[in-house]
Amino acid sequence: MIKANNPQLKSWIEVPKNSDFPIQNIPFGVIKTISGTTIASRIGDTVISISALYKFGYLNDLGLTEQTINSSVLNDFIALGKKVTNAVREKISELFVDTNSTLKNNDAHKAEILFSITEIKNALPVRIENYTDFYSSKEHATNVGTMFRDPKNALLPNWLHIPIGYHGRASSIVISGTSIHRPKGQTKAPDAELPSFGPSKQLDFELELAFVVGKETQLGDSIPIDKAEEFIFGLVLFNDWSARDIQAWEYVPLGPFLAKNFASTISPWIVTLEALEPFRVAGPTQEPKVLPYLDYKGAKNYDINLDVIIKPKGAEETVVSKSNFKYMYWNMAQQLTHHTVNGCNMKVGDMYASGTISGPTEDSYGSMLEITWRGTKPLKMKNGTERKFIDDGDTVIIKGYCEKDGVRIGFGESASEVLPTK
């Protein structure tokens, strides 16, 4: 067992009931305070400045440098490698366990190290140079194929053989709490002779998780399947906003473009792969058998509960989906291995999203496209209104957490309000 994952650990920091951030989590992020920007961690509703811990000597002899600690993004810290980042996670766990009073009794140090969550603003945790979105839920791909093609041949011939993906737009990935504007573009109604231009009428969310690359590769190198997890630092919640009407007109022959590159919303805290270790589960059986370079051993999926909530402006919220990351057909190790098998190089901070996560039942579908079945089954909201897709003024909130042996490890939330078209 990883020492910091011990379910018996308790912190001297108060942790509210059902918090996503017990002492067993120790995620990493970037915060803005009145004194500047710093990399940080979190226990309960208390945020921990890692640069202040370093300043006061609590992180000595762990392989850290001032440059990596005093950066405004986590890239240099992550690039130190898992030996260092895991040691920092373990040290934070030791400092804040209820049996250790070293920092607990030092009020002067605590004044610079600890912040209430209400005193800080989260920033993008990493500099994201590259972003790829996969298409790895069999249930989602089957639903979409059934809607738009022949239901008897919903999956295209390649889908069961390779993790399908496309290169998305890194510059429009935003932190939770950032509002987005409804996109505009070309659409073409089925009965129209020519396309028209205007705001999207079919704005949708996509329920996803994304992993952050923690180790670089050189151009021409490939990551073998049994080494792939060494290159994954951790995960965030990911809403890959989609304009379905724009997408339907533009995606042939090269796939999504303006329908997806206008915004994606992530949760601010990166939960490490090590914190998720207790929640590994076996994935679905892959038939036909994958090619040898994608053949893996052990449990590579994770039991992460996922909720999607729509909150209309000034009204009660409605839970519209309850899904789970364990349903994914193609796992993260396979995605990363396939991404590099041709020699594509990875950079620290690169972000790779799972693709829409849909389960086997209607209440576990990961997009409005599926939940309302392309708008033919409007969704009843708690305030009495209906939704086929997302309205202006709606806030879409994604939450995720694992739970086992009395320990809940969560991600916080990815939330964005939809504003009218600019």
Query: What are the structure tokens assigned to 118, written together?
Result: 């209400």
Position 88, amino acid: V
Buried b (16+ CB within 10 A) or exposed e, 323-334: bbbbbbbbbbbb
Is residue 140 part of the annotated active site? The answer reads yes
Q: Please tell me the distance from the alpha carbon of residue 135 to that of residue 165, in angstroms, as a whole number.
A: 6
CA distances in angstroms from 369 to 166, 256, 373, listed in the order given? 20, 15, 6
CA 302 to chain centre: 13
CA distances in angstroms from 323 to 188, 304, 361, 388, listed in the order given? 32, 9, 9, 19
Of 109, 140, 338, 339, the catalytic one is: 140
Q: Please tell me the distance from the alpha carbon of residue 398 to that of residue 411, in angstroms, as a whole number.
A: 9
Is 98 strand, coil or helix? coil
* H or E element in which residue 10 lies: none
Start-to-end C-alpha separation, the chain: 51
Position 34, amino acid: I
Q: Phi then psi for 249, rounded to 5 degrees?
A: -85, -30
Residues designated catalytic: 140
